[in-house]
Amino acid sequence: MDDIFKPQSLSIKALLGNTDALYQIPHYQRPYSWGDDQLSKLWDDLREAQDVEPNYFLGSIITAKPEEASSYLDIVDGQQRLTTLFILMCVCRDLYPDLNDHLPAENFDAVSAFTVKSSIKLDDRLERLRLRTHANHASDFQDLVIRNGNAITHKKPFQKDLKKEQEPKFKFKNTAAFFKEKLVEIGKEQAGAFMNYLFNNVKIIRIDCNTVGFAIKLFQVLNDRGLDLSNSDLIKSLLIGKIQQMYGEDGELRKHYEDQFMADWKRCEDIATDTNETMNDLFVMYEYYKLGKNPEKSLYDELKQVFSKEDPNAVISEFKNFISHYKSGIYDSTDTIIYSLYYIRWSVYWRTLLTTAQHVNYANTEKFVRLLRRYYYLAWIAGYTLSKVKQTSFNLIGYLKEKRDISFIENEINKQLTEELINRAVDALDSDIYFEPWCKPLLFMIEYELQDNPPYFEMGDRSIQTEHILPQSFDSIAEWAHAKGIPYLDEWIHSGANLTLLSGAKNIAARNYAFPEKIKSYDGTGLENPKDGKITSFQQTQLIVNNYNSGKYNKEWSVDALNGRWTWFCTRVEKLLDLDLTNIKNKRIPDAAEHHQLLVADKE
117-145 pLDDT per residue, tens = 988 887 644 567 889 887 778 889 999 99
What was the pLDDT predicted at 530? 46
Distance CA 29, CA 77 (A): 9
**Region 562-579 average pLDDT:** 97
Residue 243 has pLDDT above 80, yes or no: yes
Query: What percentage of the chain reaches a pLDDT higher than 90?
Result: 60
Higher pLDDT, 577 or 255: 577
What was the pLDDT predicted at 234? 78
What was the pLDDT predicted at 505? 60
Residue 599 has pLDDT above 50, yes or no: no
73-77 β-sheet, strand order? 5-11, 202-209, 56-64, 73-77, 23-24, 131-132
The answer to whether 539 and 451 are in contact (CB under 8 A) is yes
**Region 394-407 average pLDDT:** 98
| Alpha carbon separation from 450 to 433, 446, 540, 545, 580 (Å, rounded) | 21, 7, 8, 15, 20
Q: CA 19, 22, 28 angle in degrees (round to 5)?
A: 160
309-362 pLDDT per residue, tens = 999 999 999 999 999 999 999 999 999 999 999 999 899 999 999 999 999 999
**Region 560-589 average pLDDT:** 95
**What does residue 205 show for φ and ψ, rounded to 5 degrees?**
-90, 120
517-553 pLDDT per residue, tens = 888 888 765 444 545 545 557 999 999 999 999 999 9
User: Which of 160, 25, 161, 152 minimizes the C-alpha distance to 87?
Assistant: 152
What was the pLDDT predicted at 211? 79
Bridge partners of residue 77, in order along the sequence: 62
Q: How confident is the model at residue 3 (pLDDT cuts 50, 70, 90)?
A: confident
The answer to whether 288 and 348 are in contact (CB under 8 A) is yes
Dihedral sign (CA 582, 584, 585, 590): positive
What was the pLDDT predicted at 333? 97
The bridge status of strand 23-24 relative to strand 73-77 is parallel
What was the pLDDT predicted at 196? 94
Q: How confident is the model at residue 601 (pLDDT cuts 50, 70, 90)?
A: very low
**Region 245-259 average pLDDT:** 83
What was the pLDDT predicted at 592? 53
Within 10 angstroms of residue 122's Cβ, the number of other Cβ atoms is: 19
What was the pLDDT predicted at 223? 63
**Region 377-395 average pLDDT:** 96
What was the pLDDT predicted at 295? 92
Residue 602 has pLDDT above 50, yes or no: no
Q: Which residues contact 133 (CB under 8 A, 6 or more apart)?
A: 24, 25, 32, 83, 141
User: Which of 566, 490, 503, 556 minimizes the C-alpha distance to 532?
Assistant: 503
Residue 67 has pLDDT above 70, yes or no: no
451-480 pLDDT per residue, tens = 999 999 999 888 888 999 999 888 888 888
Query: What percentage of the chain reaches a pLDDT higher than 70?
Result: 90
What was the pLDDT predicted at 524? 62
The answer to whether 499 and 466 are in contact (CB under 8 A) is yes
What was the pLDDT predicted at 100? 82
Distance CA 87, CA 180 (A): 10
**What does residue 497 show for φ and ψ, rounded to 5 degrees?**
-75, -20
User: Which of 80, 78, 48, 85 minimizes the C-alpha distance to 64?
Assistant: 78
Chain mean pLDDT for the chain: 88
Most confident listed range (60-74, 217-231, 290-304, 495-509)? 290-304
DSSP state of 482: G
**Region 397-426 average pLDDT:** 98
92-105 pLDDT per residue, tens = 999 999 988 877 76
**Region 35-56 average pLDDT:** 93
| Alpha carbon separation from 156 to 351, 399, 538 (Å, rounded) | 36, 51, 41
DSSP state of 209: E
74-90 pLDDT per residue, tens = 898 899 999 999 999 99
